[in-house]
Amino acid sequence: MRKLNSILKVENLTVSFSDGKESTKILKDVSFSVFSGKMLAIVGESGCGKSVTVHSIMQLLPKNGKIDSGKVLFNDGGNEVDLVSMKKYGKQMRAMRGQKIGMVFQDPMASLNPTHQVGKQVMENLMQHYKIPKKEARDKVIELFKLLGIPDPEQRIKDYPHQFSGGMRQRVMIAISMICNPNLLIADEPTTALDVTIQAQIMDLMKELQEKHDKSIILITHNMGLVAEVADFVAVMYMGRIVEYGTVRDILNNPSHPYTQSLLKSVPVMGLDKNQKLATIRGTTPNPKDYVKGCEFAGRCDFAMESCLTRDIPDINLTNSHQVRCLLVEESKEVIAK
């Protein structure tokens, strides 16, 4: 196994949203790395901060969102640059977006401009970053469309988004993010709006991009099955924190955070016996505003201890690739150590 180079390192990222006068911490101390040529999956329930994380990386947070602290170190061909230090819509940051980092959003219909031809929308990205003639750009787009399995690309680049099916639209989105050949691709729930058969097509395509073209990918999803199939690394988020991080094997075969465990067990799998009960998590996701101290999951955790709510929870390295943010693990580790 060759040495893994990280292409992106997120360090202690903290983001808050203001709502009038109040401000709520939505991301707390988020740190993770994305390795070259690997796919990192971020999983977690709705509202846990997955999208905010990637939007912070791209500096595309809405106006009321603010990065309070932390670094986003991007490896730009050997140069490590901190994206957070760049001006939001400045030249430097814009040079990153689209060219160095591509992004695919959840809803392919809403994410494409309905009044522009799809070809134009792809070309726009290319021509923003490379001074090349239109014709050449067009040829490149056609080429990419072919590669992404869009039939009849010469004709279809003139079409408008609404003339495409959901799956095809998502391919166009991927084309937009890929046209400048970025090394890092961020896909925020790219298949949630799609049917399973189409989801399978899109995921195969992304896997192929990653493997054949050596791209690094951040995939956001809440489908554990999908994670198992395509991801190399997994970060599990809960309430703005990464509670568990590791390789896909670490997480699926040895889930160590109670949250991860229940998440895995709460999904029915094919062939599950009808009479077997699904694992559930008590209660509902609390409001991030109400957070005071300790583990956010403590209130719903079956193994919660007193200390869970009173002290800061450290990240604990189980192996050098597997980290968990849970006191249970700390204790059992201590036990092992003893």
Partner 1 sequence: MTTSKREEMIFSIKNLKTHYPVLGGFFRKQIGTVKAVDDVTIDVRRGETLGIVGESGCGKSTLAKTMMLLEKPTEGKMLYDFNGEQKDVTKLNAGDVFDFRSRVQMVFQDPYSSLNPSKRIIESFDEPLRVHGYKNPAERKQRIIESLRMVNLSEDYLYRFPHEFSGGQRQRISIARALCINPELIICDEPVSALDVSIQAQVLNLMKEIQKELNLTYVFIAHDLSVVQYMSDRVVVMYLGKIVEISEASNLHVNPLHPYTEALLSAVPVPVVNEGKSKRIPLTGDVPSPINRPSGCPFSNRCPKRMDICTQVEPPLQSYGEEDHQVACHLYTKPI
Partner 2 sequence: MLKYIIRKSLVTIPMLFVISIIVFFAIQLSPIDPISYSASPDVAVDSENLEALREHLGLNDPLYIQYYHWIIAVFKGDFGYSIITGQPIAKILALKLPATIELSLLALVISTIIGVAMGLVSAIKPNSMSDYFSRNVAVLGISIPEFFFGIIIIQIFAIQLGWLPISGRIGVNDVTFWDRLPNLILPSFTLAIGMLAVLLRYTRNSMLDVLSKDYIKTARSKGIPEWKVFIFHAFRNSLGSILVILAFRLPMLIGGSVIIEMVFMWPGIGNAIISAVSSSDYPVIMITTMMLASAILVASFLVDVLSAFLDPRIRLE
Ligand X SMILES: Nc1ncnc2c1ncn2[C@@H]1O[C@H](COP(=O)(O)OP(=O)(O)OP(=O)(O)O)[C@@H](O)[C@H]1O
Applying CB under 8 A, which residues contact partner 1? 45-46, 165-168, 195-201, 203-204, 222-229, 248-249, 252-253, 262-264, 266-272, 274, 277-281, 284-285
Residue 48, binding choice from partner 2, ligand X, Mg ion, none, Cβ under 5 to 8 Å by partner class: ligand X
Residues 47-86 interacting with partner 2 (rule: CB under 8 A) = 58, 60
Residue 322, binding choice from Mg ion, partner 2, partner 1, none, Cβ under 5 to 8 Å by partner class: none
Q: What is the DSSP letter of 315?
A: P
- Alpha-carbon torsion 234, 237, 242, 243, what sign? negative
How far is residue 310's CA from residue 293's CA, in Å, rounded to a whole number?
6
Q: What is the DSSP letter of 2?
A: P
Q: Which is nearer to partner 2, 170 or 262 (CB)?
A: 170
Residues 223-282 interacting with ligand X (rule: CB under 6 A) = none
Per-residue contact track with partner 2, 10 to 49, x per CB under 8 A?
----------------------------------------
Three-state SS at 28? strand
Measured CA distances, 5 to 12, 95, 180, 236 (Å): 19, 22, 21, 21
How far is residue 33's CA from residue 203's CA, in Å, rounded to a whole number?
22
Number of residues that bind ligand X (CB under 6 A): 16
Three-state SS at 317? strand
Residue 54 CB, nearest distance to partner 2 (Å)?
A: 10
Residue 190 binds to ligand X (criterion: CB under 6 A): no
Residue 96 binds to partner 2 (criterion: CB under 8 A): yes
Residue 46 binds to ligand X (criterion: CB under 6 A): yes
Residue 97 binds to ligand X (criterion: CB under 6 A): no
Paired strand residues for 51: none
Residue 73, binding choice from Mg ion, partner 1, partner 2, none, Cβ under 5 to 8 Å by partner class: none
Q: What is the DSSP letter of 140?
A: H
67 near 61, Cβ under 8 Å?
yes
Question: For residue 138, what is the enclosing H or E element?
Answer: helix 134-147
Applying CB under 6 A, among 13, 34, 48, 316 the residue interacting with ligand X is 48
Residue 192 binds to partner 2 (criterion: CB under 8 A): no
Cα-Cα end-to-end distance for the chain: 32
Instruction: Tell me the residue ranges of DSSP E strands in 36-151.
Output: 39-43, 65-76, 79-82, 101-104
97 near 57, Cβ under 8 Å?
no
* Buried-state track 256-289, b at ≥16 Cβ within 10 A, e below 16: bbbbbbbbbbeeeeeeeeeeeeeeebeeebeebe
Paired strand residues for 6: 35
Applying CB under 6 A, among 288, 308, 323, 326 the residue interacting with ligand X is 288
Picking from 129, 222, 244, 232, the residue whose alpha carbon sits closest to that of residue 177 is: 129
Per-residue contact track with partner 2, 109 to 128, x per CB under 8 A?
-xxxxxxxx---x--xx--x
Picking from 98, 125, 82, the residue whose alpha carbon sits closest to that of residue 182 is: 98
Q: Which is nearer to ligand X, 17 or 297 (CB)?
A: 17
Residue 198, binding choice from partner 1, Mg ion, ligand X, none, Cβ under 5 to 8 Å by partner class: partner 1
Residue 51, binding choice from ligand X, partner 2, partner 1, none, Cβ under 5 to 8 Å by partner class: ligand X
Residue 177 binds to partner 2 (criterion: CB under 8 A): yes
Residue 38, binding choice from partner 2, ligand X, partner 1, none, Cβ under 5 to 8 Å by partner class: none
Q: Could you list the residues that contact partner 2 (CB under 8 A)?
A: 58, 60, 89, 93-99, 102-103, 105, 107, 110-117, 121, 124-125, 128-129, 160, 162-163, 173, 176-177
Q: Could you list the residues that contact ligand X (CB under 6 A)?
A: 17, 19, 26, 44, 46-52, 62, 64-65, 222, 288
